[in-house]
Structure 1
């Protein structure tokens, strides 16, 4: 297989169909997070008219969307397809486990998996309250920040871990602390008043297959949610892990 070489991208993008190769290049740029059209052009090597035309076409298909600043990012349809592919017993149980955690704590409970170098919300029990943002199932984020990203990276092989932290807003030392504690918590990553507590969900052999998170405003969870809610989150993660197909 031949490889199309562009700055910043070392992945094979030769399907034998030119337009698919270019679409693959564009989506590869967005795997690292939201990007302006100018950044897509620089990183992918595509011409500006081609990049713009492809981005708009992918947006119509919901394979690409835009953030609040107008930058392009991976769209919800990719997440929806991944949810279908990864359906299993853990997801069958997740609805009731997350709902129980939400009702016990008053905060939103969500389940995330690794997906194409990022994190994907595959299940959730949201709190419908003013001022609390929701995360629809199928939403994808990068692994560059947040408690969930730290949990999904902390137990990875060293080469994967260190590759991840080179672009992240946390350090390898922070991930060492996550492994020591068994959980991660962050404040103000997505919103200045939102705190998130995350714990690993382990499958066969102890491998981390997902991350369970509890997220809500400081008045609900406090600035140190692990003190009061850590046991509940870890127990819920254990229940999901027992049902995991790995």
Structure 2
């Protein structure tokens, strides 16, 4: 295997760690990842995608793999500063609105739920932490697209289920809402 060559005897683990070590210094394309690790393209892609699911890797707008937020969380003793800051705000939102609240992270051309809070009573629209959702509908998708890169918009806007003109309102108001976009009957 490429530059990182520690061997534990557990092949899949050795390969996954080689991928993580390869992207640690700077983002890599799949081709560069294969060149650096010496892994076949299908293997590198399968493992990188699995690591992305666990937020160990993330894909940028340009498709390059980089380290994900789970590594930051692990490196800070399991504490994620963003999540620590978001939790009280999320609780306040649940209290004020009586609705479920989720926090998403952009992962390539989708979004991953990194935190969720539910109201104690009433409708609970649980999105499990770790769930990946498309950027084609929903209020969080609008926020990512309104404030995302031109490349992200170019890729996603042809597929959205809402009026792209809404993104201008999201930028101005710094607020996004959706009614029955992701799931019929849910706001």
- CA contact 1:123–1:137 (8 Å) conserved in 2: yes
Change (3 A) 1:142 1:172: same
How far the C-alpha of 1:99 sits from its partner, in A, is 1.6
- CA contact 1:83–1:122 (8 Å) conserved in 2: no
Instruction: Provide the aligned length of Structure 1 versus Structure 2.
Output: 140
Q: State TM-score, norm by structure 1.
A: 0.47
Q: Which of 54, 73, 85 lines up with 1:78 in the alignment? A: 54
Asked which structure has the greater RCO (Cα within 8 Å, sep 6+), the reply is: 1
- CA contact 2:99–2:124 (8 Å) conserved in 1: no
**How far apart, in 1, do the equivalents of 2:30 and 2:151 lie?**
18
User: Which residue in the other structure is 1:108 paired with?
Assistant: 100
2:160 is the alignment partner of 1:186: no
Gaps of 5+ in 1: 1-9, 32-62, 65-73, 196-246
Deviation string 1:76-98 (CA, Å, 9 cap, x unpaired) is x5247744235442211222221
- Poorly superposed stretches of 4+, deviation over 6 Å: none
- CA contact 1:162–1:172 (8 Å) conserved in 2: no
User: Which residue in the other structure is 1:174 paired with?
Assistant: 166
- CA contact 1:79–1:139 (8 Å) conserved in 2: no
How far the C-alpha of 1:172 sits from its partner, in A, is 3.6
**How far apart, in 2, do the equivalents of 1:110 and 1:184 lie?**
13
More strand by share: 1
**How far apart, in 2, do the equivalents of 1:169 and 1:124 lie?**
24
Gaps of 5+ in 2: 1-28, 58-67, 74-79
**How far apart, in 1, do the equivalents of 2:174 and 2:84 lie?**
25
